[in-house]
Amino acid sequence: MDSIDQVTLNFSEANLFYLNLSLGFIMFGVAINLRVEDFIRVLKSPKAALAGIMSQFIVLPILTFLLILIIQPRASFALGMMLVAACPGGNISNFMSAMARGNAALSVSLTAVSSTLAIILTPINLTLWAGLYPPTASILTEVSLDFWQLLKTITMLLLIPIVLGMLLRKWKPRVADRLHPVMHYSSIGIFVAIVLMAFSANFDLFLKYIHLVILLVLAHNAIAITAGYQMGRVFKLDEQDKRSIAIETGIQNSGLGLILIFSFFDGLGGMAIVAAWWGIWHIISGLSLASIWNNRPVINQSAESNIQTEV
């Protein structure tokens, strides 16, 4: 086994507590702008939402597994990729979707639904795909991953803050309106702080191994974004929907991934480096893509059809 697959990162219980608290704060900030109507919207217009959910929880994990089979990275890197692919959309996807001239309402709905479904689907996807690949299956055996404990942890990190945030929106809408802009924009800073917290105690190890994952994460993230956009094409969605689904699929909650790595995998080095670098890179790629799309007009299929008819 390569050395990085044996390296564990130093992370104190106090730092882990602050990491959990930070993610809870971020999810609460996301939830104070959510309403029951956001879930109802999914039921009323299920086509785009179904494409987004399938892209995140079915297509991306499958493509990740195939990518791992092709390039065969180190076992801990592969497990980190599987974990990132199993996580729900990231907290800044709504901001990026609006910036990209995507469907902001769809993005908010997908954030709400995917974060809720992740309570069940994240542990299922991680244990399923990691168990099918012998190198990662051996790591699962070594750490004795407890599915139900994993489920409990994700519930506490995602469900409780979401419920509290939505209750505040329902009972104190004016307070939620005042808090939302502050928490919305500060969430990026908090997320960066989470990643830096993971980096700070292990800077030498990150410098030693980061070159091994730069291209790996870049390729993985590009596949995620492309898969999301192509799912929109498969479902024959409008351009705005395709952009939002691409961003939702490419912006994964790697902060959640880091917490799970330190909680269940003893800070396994390869996993942590993949999740931490993904957390940095998806901000760069997401903002870059959103900027490009922001400068391009949105041409929906109906408009394209009319143009073709006129020609």
pLDDT in tens, 70-114: 999 999 999 999 999 999 887 678 778 888 988 877 887 888 788
Handedness of CA 79, 85, 89, 91 (dihedral sign): positive
Q: What is the value of pTM for the model shown?
A: 0.82
114-to-67, 91, 93, 100, 308 alpha-carbon distances in Å: 23, 11, 12, 20, 36
Contacts of 283 (CB under 8 A, 6+ apart): 92, 188, 191, 192
Mean of all residue pLDDT scores within the chain: 82
Boundaries of every domain in the chain: 3-310
Question: Where does the chain have alpha helices with state H?
Answer: 13-31, 36-44, 46-54, 60-71, 75-86, 93-99, 104-132, 134-143, 147-154, 160-171, 173-200, 203-209, 214-234, 239-250, 254-264, 269-294, 301-310
- pLDDT band at 293; cut points 50, 70, 90: very high
Compute the average pLDDT of residues 148-153: 78
- pLDDT band at 247; cut points 50, 70, 90: very high
Residue 42 is predicted with a pLDDT of: 67
* CA diameter of the chain: 66
Which of 9-13, 121-125, 238-242 is predicted least confidently?
Answer: 9-13
Residue 187 is predicted with a pLDDT of: 67
Residue 111 is predicted with a pLDDT of: 81
What is the CB-side half-sphere exposure of residue 218 using CA atoms within 13 A? 6
Give which of 90, 106, 43, 60 is closest to 230, Cα–Cα. Answer: 60
pLDDT tens string 159-183: 888 888 888 888 888 888 888 777 7
pLDDT at 306 over 70: no
Contacts of 90 (CB under 8 A, 6+ apart): 191, 251, 252, 253, 254, 255, 282
Residue 195 is predicted with a pLDDT of: 66
Residue 308 is predicted with a pLDDT of: 35
- pLDDT band at 149; cut points 50, 70, 90: confident
Compute the average pLDDT of residues 293-301: 77
CATH number for 3-310: choose from 2.102.10.10, 3.40.50.620, 3.40.50.300, 1.20.1530.20: 1.20.1530.20
CA distance 19 to 235: 38
Which of 39-48, 108-117, 245-254, 273-282 is predicted least confidently?
Answer: 39-48
pLDDT at 31 over 90: no
pLDDT at 1 over 60: no
Residues forming a β-bridge with 252? 89
Q: Answer whether 60's CB lies under 8 Å from 126's CB.
A: no
CA distance 38 to 36: 5
In 140-157, which positions are buried (b, 16+ CB within 10 angstroms) versus exposed (e)?
A: beeeebeeeebeebbeeb
Find the length of the chain: 311
Give SS3 for 307: helix
DSSP state letter for 11: -
Compute the average pLDDT of residues 204-233: 90
